[in-house]
Amino acid sequence: MKKMNAAVFHSFLRAFILLGFGALIVYLKISGDILLYVTPRLSIYLEIAAAGLMVTAAFQFYISFLSLKKPVIVCECGHDHDHEHGRHSHEPPQSIGKNVVVYGIFILPLLFGTLLPNTALAGSLAQTKGMNLGGVLANQSAAPADLVEVEGTEDPALKEKFKTTPYNRDYAKLGMLLYQQDRIEMKDEWYIEKMRAMNTFVDNFENKQIKITGFVYREDGLPDSQFIIGRLAMTHCIADIAPYGIIVEGGDANQYANDSWITVTGTISKTSYHDQKVMKINISSVEPAKAPSVPYVYPDWDFASKL
């Protein structure tokens, strides 16, 4: 077996980097923390990537161990690989600084992903991006001739209440289901869709009972009697996270700390926020809540087919 030279060392280092990224993805999948970075429907692509990284790492290790016995050049460049005459070389760059920069691009993210805790963002992100209060999706002041009823066998009077534009028909159908519930519970499933449905038809939901869990957030301009209860919504990955919330009002609203998790039960009313009509919850009761391990909610692009 020959002595390890610089080329073999670099080959092993690349193999360990590939193995490290593959192992990190596997760990995130097993621990469930992968949902802090991508939505459930995209996690399959990371699993495929992890498999590809593992296979590539295995091949790289094979080349590295083989290189300990004899020089192995794996390329199709078509050049003469006579290193003694200096005609063509695949040796790694000799500059330490260049090697540090090149490998640092890969090693630093791997170290950060391995050593730093996997934590979710909350109110700090809302401060940066602004809170989305699920405002009306379409102009509801449109002329009656522009509005349509939801198809189906529902009560004609109920269908009349939820007349809407063709674009909002799916939210109208969801709104009708929510309207018939004694108390609306804002669970993780369809969280965003429910918010949009209720805000689109906020007049229909006045005085309806609602229960919701989320983090406390306050924005400049809100009175002491109000705060926002919010959740973070991930559309595809961590880069597109957006805060969604509902204004909450009550006499003791100022006693709840920012970023604390609570469960609010109350009745729905409406208010104006930045010249937009949105729903508001009048507090009936508040209980402390435990932050979920994966605090994000995800849109369901196929929710209409499940109604």
| Cβ 2 vs Cβ 69: under 8 Å | yes
Domain ranges of the chain: 6-115, 123-306
Of 87-101, 130-144, 193-207, which gets the smallest average pLDDT?
130-144
Q: Would you state the pLDDT for residue 143?
A: 43
Q: Would you state the pLDDT for residue 79?
A: 56
Average of per-residue pLDDT across 37-65: 90
- How sure is the predictor about 294, in pLDDT bands with cuts at 50, 70 and 90? confident
pLDDT-above-90 percentage for the chain: 39
Question: Does domain 123-306 fall into CATH 2.60.120.10?
Answer: no
Alpha-carbon torsion (129, 132, 135, 137), positive or negative: positive
- How sure is the predictor about 121, in pLDDT bands with cuts at 50, 70 and 90? low
Q: State how far the Cα of 98 lies from the Cα of 6, in Å rounded to an integer.
A: 14
Q: Average model confidence (pLDDT) for the chain?
A: 83
- How sure is the predictor about 179, in pLDDT bands with cuts at 50, 70 and 90? very high
**Tokens 């869990």 label which residue?**
213
Alpha-carbon torsion (180, 290, 41, 133), positive or negative: positive
- The DSSP code sequence of 30-96 is HHSGGGGTB-GGGHHHHHHHHHHHHHHHHHHHHHHHHHTTS------------GGGTS---PPP--H
Q: Would you state the pLDDT for residue 92?
A: 58
